[in-house]
């Protein structure tokens, strides 16, 4: 089988990288190296969580024969590769500001290095646009722009889907107590992200932003991702194992940059971050703490032409004030 392709601005008229609007670094959502590679753990966590679904990769009812699919911020490219395997007759585009480290990809999978905050210049429309773990990637205005561009780039009746994590950690049985470092962990990072101007509360904001962009038929599903292998349920235990491995490996990458740049009341020193992380690591290993991270999936549809026309007619028929 021939290999898929890695292109710089494949369908774009020109490369849009490296100019003044390029996205600055933000560790939750970027990473050509370690953090990008680590998203494979998250990919597996989501597959395990949705193992009872006919298709654990997405929920949007896109039908059996989509032609063009786009994965924004594809990272490692795991989702795009799996979807390309699932729909061999579709072309799946994975776009990211960093080239994916994937060594092999199916022939119908195209990776493109590009910045989605730029004007999109793909010539054909998509049937489905997907995003996952893009929390903190854009400012609120950036998100508005991305949803608008996604709306414009979809076929009428096409679907958008987004899956995001809440970085805050909870327990339902009171085993995570206010004195635990993990209890305040998420709020510390949310605070850093707000000061950096790129909120990590993407999971809370995305539904209304998607609606505001004009999408209809909006659906939402909420998940609890165990942090560690504490659940009794076999699948959740596996998800917890994977999520623990992800945290353990990614922790320092997330925390060091954010806390030394945007920590409060003033940026933390490296040593302060290391002491903090040592305590967090100890709690992560504690089987008595039944912690989990919430995640939210939203999927919605661009109106069909009939719906858009009906909407236009209704607006016209409204009496003037």
Task: List residues binding ligand SAM (CB under 6 A).
Answer: 23, 29-30, 36, 39, 42-43, 73-76, 78-79, 95-98, 115-117, 132-134, 137
Closer residue to ligand SAM, CB minimum distance, 30 or 68: 30
Backbone angles phi, psi at 279, to 5 degrees: -70, -40
Q: Which residues share a beta bridge with 296?
A: 164, 222
Nearest CB to ligand SAM, comparing residues 49 and 176: 49
The stretches of 202-269 forming alpha helices (DSSP H) are: 202-212, 234-262
Rounded Cα distance, 11 and 221, in Å: 33
Measured from the CB atom, the residue of 94 and 183 that comes closer to ligand SAM is: 94
Q: Which of 66, 73 has the CB closer to ligand SAM?
A: 73
In the bound complex, what is the minimum distance in angstroms from residue 193's beta carbon to ligand SAM? 13
Q: Smallest distance, Å, CB 36 to ligand SAM?
A: 5
CB of 269 to ligand SAM, least distance (A): 26
Q: Which of 224, 204, 38, 17 is nearest to 113 (CA)?
A: 17
Measured from the CB atom, the residue of 69 and 289 that comes closer to ligand SAM is 69
Give me the least distance between CB of 170 and ligand SAM, in Å please.
Answer: 21
Distance CA 277, CA 271 (A): 10
CB of 100 to ligand SAM, least distance (A): 8
Tokens of 271: 């040593």
Residue nearest to ligand SAM (CB): 75
Query: 176: burial class by Cβ within 10 Å (0-12, 13-18, 19+)?
Result: buried
The dihedral formed by the CA atoms of 38, 39, 45 and 50, expressed in degrees to the nearest 10: -160
Q: Which is closer to ligand SAM, CB of 41 or CB of 224? A: 41
Nearer to ligand SAM, 113 or 227 (CB): 113
| CB of residue 67 to ligand SAM, shortest distance in Å | 22
Question: Peptide bond preceding 268: is omega within 30 degrees of 0, i.e. cis?
Answer: no
**What is the nearest approach in angstroms of ligand SAM to the Cβ of residue 152?**
17
Give the β-pairing of 154-165 and 292-301: antiparallel
User: How many angstroms separate the CA atoms of 88 and 286, rounded?
Assistant: 44
């Amino acid at each position: 089988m021939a290999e898929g392709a890695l292109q710089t601005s494949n369908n774009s008229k020109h490369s849009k990288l490296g100019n003044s609007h390029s996205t600055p670094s933000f560790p939750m959502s970027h990473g050509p190296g370690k953090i990008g590679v680590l998203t494979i753990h998250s990919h597996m966590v989501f597959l395990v969580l949705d193992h009872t679904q006919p298709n654990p990769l997405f929920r949007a009812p896109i039908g059996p024969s989509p032609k063009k699919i786009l994965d924004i911020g594809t990272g490692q490219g795991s989702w795009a590769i799996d979807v390309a395997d699932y729909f061999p007759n579709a072309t799946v585009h994975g776009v990211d500001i960093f080239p994916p480290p994937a060594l092999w990809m199916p022939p119908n999978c195209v990776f493109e290095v590009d910045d989605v905050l730029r004007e999109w210049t793909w010539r054909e429309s998509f049937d489905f646009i997907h995003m996952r773990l893009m929390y903190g990637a854009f400012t609120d205005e950036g998100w508005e722009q991305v949803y608008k561009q996604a709306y414009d780039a979809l076929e009428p009746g096409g679907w958008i889907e987004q899956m995001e994590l809440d970085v805050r950690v909870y327990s339902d049985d009171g085993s995570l107590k206010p004195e635990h470092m993990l209890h305040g962990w998420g709020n510390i990072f949310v605070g850093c992200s707000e000061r950096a101007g790129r909120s990590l509360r993407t999971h809370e904001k995305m539904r209304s932003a998607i609606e505001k962009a004009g999408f209809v038929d909006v659906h939402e599903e909420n998940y609890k991702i165990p942090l560690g292998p504490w659940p009794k349920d076999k699948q959740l235990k596996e998800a917890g194992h994977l999520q623990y491995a992800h945290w353990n490996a990614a922790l320092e990458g997330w925390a060091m940059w954010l806390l030394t740049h945007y920590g409060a009341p003033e940026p933390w020193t490296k040593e302060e971050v290391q002491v903090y992380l040592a305590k967090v690591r100890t709690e992560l290993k504690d089987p008595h703490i039944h912690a989990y991270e919430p995640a939210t999936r939203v999927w919605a549809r661009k109106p069909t032409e009939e719906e858009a026309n009906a909407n236009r007619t209704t607006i016209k028929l409204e009496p003037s004030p």
